[in-house]
Structure 1
Amino acid sequence: MIGILWAAQPDFRLLPISLSLVHRGLENVYSHGRGRKKCTSNRDNRTLERIVKQNPFKNVGETHKEWTAAGVSASRITTHRRMQDMGFSCRIPCIKPLLNKTQRQKRLAWAKDKKDWASAEWSKLMFSDESTFCISFGNQGPKVWRKRGEAQNPHCLKSSVKFPQSVMVWGPKSSAGAGAGPQCFLRSKVNAAVYQEVLEHFMLPAAEQLYGDADLIFQQDLAPAHSAKATSTWFKDHGIPVLNWLANLPDLNPIGKIYGVLYCEEEDAIHQTQQCRRAECRRATIRTTWALITPEQCHRLIDSMPRRIDDIQIL
């Protein structure tokens, strides 16, 4: 039919359309059906997707072996390409604590108690936490294959473990004033006495710097040094109210996000200068990156607390 049209109308300049449009139309007609046929069927692809979903922490090589063991003839490159075509991306898994039924119920009750808190209430909180920065490299563990929107899927989460070998840092954060207060490096095991020294020499100056004469509520987790009777007495003696907190709530503390950003920036700086494997040099790098945290970053994370509470109630 194209040949007939060409013979009947050889001068396409007489048509009320551009020559480039005619050329593209002819190319589409002649190129229809071209291209190499895929070596895997839709059924093979469904098998691959099921394999990835059953264990998303497998790497491409392991997934490829399992797929070919199911009778599919495909290369490792094809396996990788099909996984990407399905929408899977290789990402660092989010980390959440393992919770039993009782802990989930307590989390839900805690969230319902705080669901009516507005940004004004959350801004009174001074969040605090210790974080560890490993001196060795390559300790992130396996990555996970997941699709967009599956970051919080239970099958794509990594369970957290405690007490890695590290440099330990304590630091406060709030949405008031400068946002992030002075930090403290902990050189010894943190017991109640050591923690009270941190509160005396770092938390009180941070409260003065961030809040002044305004009211504040202090947040801390339920580590033994934090929940010790002597520590509770210290807070009462200084007239500082402490937020009721539950065990296994690290994902609700927004300071964890700050530590995540701090860790990534600090890792980049260390990889650029391969001399910072020593703890002293690592502390200097952490101090530098901590000072770069902006008040805007702190404000955004504090303002996210109502949404975090809503997410608990939905789950």
Structure 2
Amino acid sequence: MGKTADLTVVQKTIIDTLHKEGKPQTFIAKEAVCSQSAVSKHVNRKLSGRKKCGRKRCTTNRENRSFMRIVKQNQFKNLSELHKEWTEAGVKASRATTHRRVKEFGYSCRIPLVKPLLNHRQHQRRLTWAKEKKNWTLAQWSKVLFSDESKFCISFGNQGPRVWRKGGEAHSPSCLKSSVKFPQSVMIWGAMSSAGVGPLCFIKGRVNAASYQEILEHFMLPSAEKLYGDEDFVFQHDLAPAHSAKTTGKWFTDHGITVLNWPANSPDLNPIENLWDIVKRKLRDARPNTLDELKAAIEASWASITPQQCHRLIASMPRRIEAVISAKGFPTKY
């Protein structure tokens, strides 16, 4: 890094401060993480009063601020659209200049994360729920049996491992990733607590209130027995129609089981979602080709989840609550 123009603002500040203290240039260069010649040029330029050389910027500060407003108004516009709108406002700038400015503002073009769509009432209820649970302890969260359904497919779209190949091997069978129009899939129900996971249920057909109550009878109760024994617990599930049905509510009442109130569209609050992600990542490595292989791989991945992993996820609940409050009820990073 030999040119003064290459120095960052932080480096220049370090150089100016240490130079005023009378430190030698070798010491300053080491502290500022730059070459000694860069230190010398920066110091000499300031002493001589020379202005920074180079071509004058083609856009003014006012024009740059107007461009910043354009970017903020719709961050989903591509570079061509941003450039067009900026130049239509009377600014003379090339597409390359537009790209440099948007980078200078600190923006990078990235694939957006996908989060559930929340209406105003839903994110207000999430915020209210988070505030109600803000003071819950880890011991209280450890009493919750979290549950969820998830779909697993043989094909995982564009996700998965990349392949090392040589030139001309793009169509080699050993380098291809197979895809089908209608990939085979299975729907699974599972439950977890801070003590570990319960048995998996492979769901056949669509889930309605009657079939869901059978899952509760034959899989949720054994999960609770395994993870809690004779101790009390609180059951969690989302607001799917089968879960919210009156007959399902009566089933819980008849069995004396307390159900945790839950805000709609809140997968970021359910730690079992992280377990599904762990299982799906392992499946991409296993690359099952048949439905039987898929089921076997799922069962093996689920069985490999340790109580320690579950405990860490349950321990994240207070942080999830704080994240929802900080986001005012909107989706969080979890």
Shared fold per TM-score greater than 0.5: yes
Question: Partners of 1:262 and 1:44 in 2: how far apart?
Answer: 50
CA deviation after TM superposition for structure 1 residue 40, in Å = 4.1
Question: 1:87 — aligned with what?
Answer: 106
Question: Partners of 2:84 and 2:99 in 1: how far apart?
Answer: 12
Question: Partners of 2:192 and 2:138 in 1: how far apart?
Answer: 15
CA deviation after TM superposition for structure 1 residue 130, in Å = 1.5
Question: Partners of 1:250 and 1:173 in 2: how far apart?
Answer: 14
Contact 2:25 2:40 in 1 (8 A): no
Question: 1:158 — aligned with what?
Answer: none
Question: Partners of 2:26 and 2:252 in 1: how far apart?
Answer: 82
- Residue deviations 1:212-248 (CA, integer Å, cap 9, x gap): 3332111112222112233233334443322223434
- Residue deviations 1:119-141 (CA, integer Å, cap 9, x gap): 111110011111234646259xx
Contact 2:80 2:95 in 1 (8 A): no
CA deviation after TM superposition for structure 1 residue 98, in Å = 1.7
Contact 2:242 2:248 in 1 (8 A): yes
TM-score of the aligned structures, taking structure 1 as reference length: 0.67
1:74 aligns with 2:91: no
Instruction: Tell me: CA distance 1:118–1:50, structure 2 relative to 1, closer, same or farther (3 Å).
Output: same
1:97 aligns with 2:117: yes
- Residue deviations 1:137-158 (CA, integer Å, cap 9, x gap): 259xxxxxxxxxxxxxxxxxxx
Question: 1:185 — aligned with what?
Answer: 202
Question: Partners of 1:49 and 1:262 in 2: how far apart?
Answer: 42
TM-score of the aligned structures, taking structure 2 as reference length: 0.64
Contact 1:250 1:256 in 2 (8 A): yes
CA deviation after TM superposition for structure 1 residue 294, in Å = 4.1
Structure 1 counterpart of 2:151, from 123, 126, 132: 132
Contact 1:269 1:285 in 2 (8 A): no
Question: 2:317 — aligned with what?
Answer: 305
Question: Partners of 1:19 and 1:223 in 2: how far apart?
Answer: 67
> Secondary structure, in 3 states, of the residue corresponding to 2:70?
helix
Contact 2:25 2:39 in 1 (8 A): no
Where does structure 1 differ by over 6 angstroms across 4 or more consecutive aligned residues?
Answer: 18-22
> Secondary structure, in 3 states, of the residue corresponding to 1:168?
strand
Instruction: Tell me: CA distance 1:279–1:37, structure 2 relative to 1, closer, same or farther (3 Å).
Output: farther
Corresponding letter in the other structure for 2:149: E
Question: Partners of 2:58 and 2:302 in 1: how far apart?
Answer: 52
> Secondary structure, in 3 states, of the residue corresponding to 1:95?
coil
Question: Partners of 1:235 and 1:94 in 2: how far apart?
Answer: 33
CA deviation after TM superposition for structure 1 residue 170, in Å = 1.8
Instruction: Tell me: CA distance 1:209–1:37, structure 2 relative to 1, closer, same or farther (3 Å).
Output: farther
What is the 5 A alignment of 1:159-308? Answer: 167-175=186-194, 177-178=195-196, 180-263=197-280, 265=281, 268-269=284-285, 273=287, 276=289, 282-308=294-320
Unmatched segments (≥5 aa) in structure 1: 1-15, 140-164
CA deviation after TM superposition for structure 1 residue 87, in Å = 1.9
Question: Partners of 1:301 and 1:55 in 2: how far apart?
Answer: 35
Corresponding letter in the other structure for 1:172: A
Contact 1:44 1:72 in 2 (8 A): no
Question: Partners of 1:204 and 1:52 in 2: how far apart?
Answer: 53
Question: Partners of 1:194 and 1:35 in 2: how far apart?
Answer: 73
CA deviation after TM superposition for structure 1 residue 258, in Å = 3.4
Instruction: Tell me: CA distance 1:60–1:255, structure 2 relative to 1, closer, same or farther (3 Å).
Output: farther
> Secondary structure, in 3 states, of the residue corresponding to 1:172?
strand
Question: Partners of 1:279 and 1:65 in 2: how far apart?
Answer: 50
Question: Partners of 1:122 and 1:86 in 2: how far apart?
Answer: 42
Instruction: Tell me: CA distance 1:117–1:136, structure 2 relative to 1, closer, same or farther (3 Å).
Output: closer
- Residue deviations 1:28-83 (CA, integer Å, cap 9, x gap): 4479735555454433433332222212223344434434444342235x544433
Pairwise CA RMSD of aligned residues? 3.7
Contact 1:173 1:181 in 2 (8 A): yes
